[in-house]
Amino acid sequence: MVSGQRLAVSLVPEQVMRLTFPCRAANAAAMAKRSRPRRKRSETHETLRFMATLLLGVLILRSFVIAPFSIPSESMLPRLFIGDYLLVAKWPYGYSRWSLPWGVPLLPTLHWSSPARGDVVVFRSLADRDVIKRVVGLPGDTIQVRGGEVILNGQAVPRQRVADFVLPITPNFPLALCPAGHAEVLEAAPVCRFQRYRETLPGGRSYAVLDTKPGSDGDDTGLYSVPAGHVFLLGDNRDNSLDSRFPAPRGMGYIPVGRVEGRASVTAFSTDGSAEYLKPWTWFSAARPERIGEGF
């Protein structure tokens, strides 16, 4: 009995050791793996990764949500000044290749809404540049201009004379852009004075337009019939806008809806052009804060 008990007792430690050693080996391997020094990513690699992520985020935001647009000409006066910076909503009508920078053909055309009369839209012209105008005619509409009045589907668009539009002469609107006979001095400052009218489209959309040159090329036109899938666009500064009244390449002609990139949403900033990069105080004096936040 005693020898049997000793044998049993002597076997216990060996069994325990057999069961314990594999665990210790596994733990040791795991600890060794954890103790190995990790390869550190270089600062250049991290910077490039951050910049790529930032660029991708900006690209997605600009292509599908909202994009900036600056006003380069006077064709949309009095609503838009040269030097205005807008935010353009990209989602109201849908997406196409023109939603992407440079019109890269990576997107199918997906449209769930059409521009409405009176919308101010940014579109890619047939000359392959971004342009901003106001939608006046929709598919199936007939349009003609007689004596400066827009005739839409046989009916004259109501046009009411309102107070003159007075625009200060600034580096962004020099005296050379003011038509002959419209320049004057007001309170010791040079300005340009325009006749202003208010048009009201069917449905109630109302906006101001300018008439600077009675009898100009665009004041009397033929009859236009807007084809399916297209829109007819006009600039608010009627005598200084090469729009759908004029065929390409002189003007815009009818614009396919698929080329409309977005709808103007709000004025984000505006400058009169007098700022100088090396004179920071002029950045503030050149700003036109009263224009910031104006909607459409």
> What are the catalytic residues?
75, 133
- By the 8 A CB rule, do 124 and 103 touch? yes
First to last CA, the chain: 104
Written as six digits, the tokens of 63 are: 């292509």
Contacts of 288 (CB under 8 A, 6+ apart): 81, 83, 270, 271, 272
Residues 163-199: b if buried by 16+ CB within 10 A, e if exposed: eebebebbebbeeebbeeebeeeeeeeebbbbbbbeb
Written as six digits, the tokens of 67 are: 């994009």
Going by C-alpha positions, the residue among 144, 135, 147, 150 that lies closest to residue 221 is: 144
Cα–Cα distance between 53 and 48 in angstroms, integer? 9
Cα–Cα distance between 115 and 259 in angstroms, integer? 11
- Residue 285 has φ and ψ, to the nearest 5°, of -70, -25
| Helix, strand, coil fractions of the chain, as percent rounded to 5 | 30, 35, 40
